[in-house]
């Protein structure tokens, strides 16, 4: 049985840190780090840690064979331990006795999956930072590029593409705290039944055995670049849910960007265009087409992720006793697939945003094609208060009647409004003449707090860029 991502186009971008080989390496690193932690705690000789690390190379193991044999015990740790002990015995027979003692399969499996999460976070965060930098550039460059804001699919008010890009960026910024959690997820420790009995036994009845057992777990977590949680979480699955929800939120945030690109790149709108690449966007039957494939794959991912997050919530809700009977097992593939999709999506988003082409002429033309009706709010706010009631209609009603009548006719609306407001004066003494009405009909003059809103997002981006660590997270493995 082989899964190379044939039905998940683009997901290969997330495979190096999430595929079966990556999971196998994480399992081996977890076992080797446990031996090293025993060295740190004075329970094993230094030579054992060196041998344990040397035996922990995924390339030396048959991952397909391990997958077949995992059926016997219901998890891959059991057959892997047999092979790992055999391999280690060839290097240092004495070191074998330090392997896995005090642990249980769930400690290793959960910790390895958290290690996969941490390793997936590295390219994920890097590519999201690249996408954020590209969006910041677009927001600043296009703060004056007027386009139609659309609500419920219809033109609503004038806006700018710069503000749209800033809004996309803000969506990624809202994930920053969650993404930080992916860099240091917790190790899982507890032993056979979550009591740490096996770890305590390593300290031969010492009065402080409990504290020393926890310290041993701390050494282990530190070796892996993970946190030591304050409790055993065998059946308290919040660490899994937290990682899954972050991956899912990343997929949703990037899907939101993809939806806008897909809409605005339709030929009849033509406001945006994806970056071109050899062989990308081709059609098997229509060679003239250039499909927005990056956005299509981002949307695919955004639609796929929620079901995986839901699966993990169901599994957490069905945890029972001191090790779940099936719900735990159902987590593994769902969490791994979420990580793979999120990493691939971040890579797609970085490429999309860096190469996005913005057609400001089409944006302006599409806005103007809808007519001056999109400025109804502004026209009414300025003119209605200075027009007296007439023929049973308020000043607002009189303005609205003109706007409705000439919603798509700029020249007609200009003439009608000048005639309607003849002799009127604004509160500051400005007469309502053709020049003033012309300004009211200019979309660029009604952009709200466009610059302020963009600047706030960009300032947040600058702070985050300055605060971002320049070195990778500690503990790359055993």
Q: How far apart are CA 415 and CA 438, in angstroms?
A: 10
In whole angstroms, what is the distance from residue 140 CA to residue 458 CA?
A: 8
In 115-267 the beta strands, taken as DSSP E runs, fall at 146-151, 154-160
Q: Which of 256, 280, 323, 396 is catalytic?
A: 323
Contacts of 310 (CB under 8 A, 6+ apart): none
| Helices and strands in the chain, H and E counts | 18, 4
The residue annotated as part of the active site, out of 283, 333, 456, 468, is 283
Q: In terms of Cα–Cα distance, which of 193, 312, 221, 282 is closest to 37?
A: 221
Catalytic site includes residue 323 = yes
> What is the full DSSP assignment across 154-184?
EEEEEEEHHHHHHHHHHHHHTTHHHHHHHHS
Query: 312: closest CA among 69, 38, 110?
Result: 110
Strand pairing partners for 149?
157
User: Which of 195, 204, 202, 231 is CA-nearest to residue 37?
Assistant: 202
SS (H, E, C) 42-99: CCCCHHHHHHHHHCCCHHHCCHHHHHHHHHHHCCCHHHHHHHHHHHHHHHCHHHHHHC
Q: Let me know if 159 is a catalytic residue.
A: no
Q: Which DSSP state fits 373?
A: G
Give the residue numbers annotated as catalytic, written as ranges: 283, 323
């Amino acid at each position: 049985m082989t899964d190379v991502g044939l039905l998940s186009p683009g997901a290969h971008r997330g495979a190096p840190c999430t595929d079966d080989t990556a999971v196998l390496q994480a399992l081996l690193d977890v076992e080797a780090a446990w031996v090293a932690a025993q060295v740190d705690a004075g329970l094993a000789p230094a030579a054992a840690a060196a041998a344990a690390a040397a035996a922990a190379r995924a390339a030396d193991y048959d991952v397909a064979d391990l997958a077949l044999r995992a059926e016997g015990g219901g998890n891959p740790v059991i057959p892997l331990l047999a092979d790992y002990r055999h391999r280690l015995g060839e290097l240092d027979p004495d070191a074998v006795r330090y392997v896995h003692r005090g642990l249980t399969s769930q400690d290793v499996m959960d910790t390895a999956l958290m290690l996969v999460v941490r390793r997936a976070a590295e390219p994920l965060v890097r590519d999201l930072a690249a996408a954020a930098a590209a969006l910041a550039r677009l927001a600043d460059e296009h703060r004056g590029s007027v386009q139609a804001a659309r609500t419920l699919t219809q033109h609503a008010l004038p806006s700018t593409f710069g503000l749209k890009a800033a809004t996309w960026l803000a969506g990624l910024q809202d994930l920053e705290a969650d993404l930080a959690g992916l860099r240091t997820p917790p190790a899982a420790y507890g032993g056979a039944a979550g009591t740490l009995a096996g770890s305590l036994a390593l300290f031969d009845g010492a009065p402080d055995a409990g504290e020393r057992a926890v310290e041993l777990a701390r050494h282990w977590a530190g070796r892996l670049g993970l946190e030591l949680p304050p409790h055993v979480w065998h059946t308290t699955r919040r660490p899994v849910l937290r990682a899954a929800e972050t991956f899912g939120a990343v997929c949703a945030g990037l899907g939101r960007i993809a939806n806008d690109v897909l809409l605005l790149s339709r030929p009849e709108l033509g406001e945006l265009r994806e970056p071109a690449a050899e062989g990308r966007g081709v059609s098997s039957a229509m060679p003239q087409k250039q499909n927005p494939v990056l956005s299509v794959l981002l949307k695919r991912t955004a639609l796929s992720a929620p079901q995986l997050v839901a699966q993990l919530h169901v599994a957490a809700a069905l945890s029972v006793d001191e090790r779940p009977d099936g719900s735990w097992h159902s987590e593994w593939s769902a969490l791994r697939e979420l990580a793979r999709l999120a990493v691939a999506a971040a890579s797609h988003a970085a490429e999309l945003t860096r190469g996005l082409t913005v057609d400001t002429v089409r944006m302006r033309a599409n806005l103007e094609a809808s007519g001056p009706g999109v400025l109804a709010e502004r026209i009414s706010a300025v003119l209605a208060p200075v027009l007296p009631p007439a023929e049973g209609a308020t000043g607002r009603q009189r303005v609205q009647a003109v706007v409705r009548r000439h919603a798509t006719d700029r020249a007609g609306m200009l003439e009608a409004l000048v005639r309607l407001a003849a002799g009127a004066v604004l509160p500051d003494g400005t007469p309502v003449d053709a020049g003033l009405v012309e300004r009211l009909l200019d979309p660029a003059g009604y952009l709200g707090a466009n610059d302020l809103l963009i600047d706030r997002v960009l300032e947040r981006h600058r702070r985050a860029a300055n605060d971002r660590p320049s070195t990778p997270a500690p503990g790359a493995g055993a």
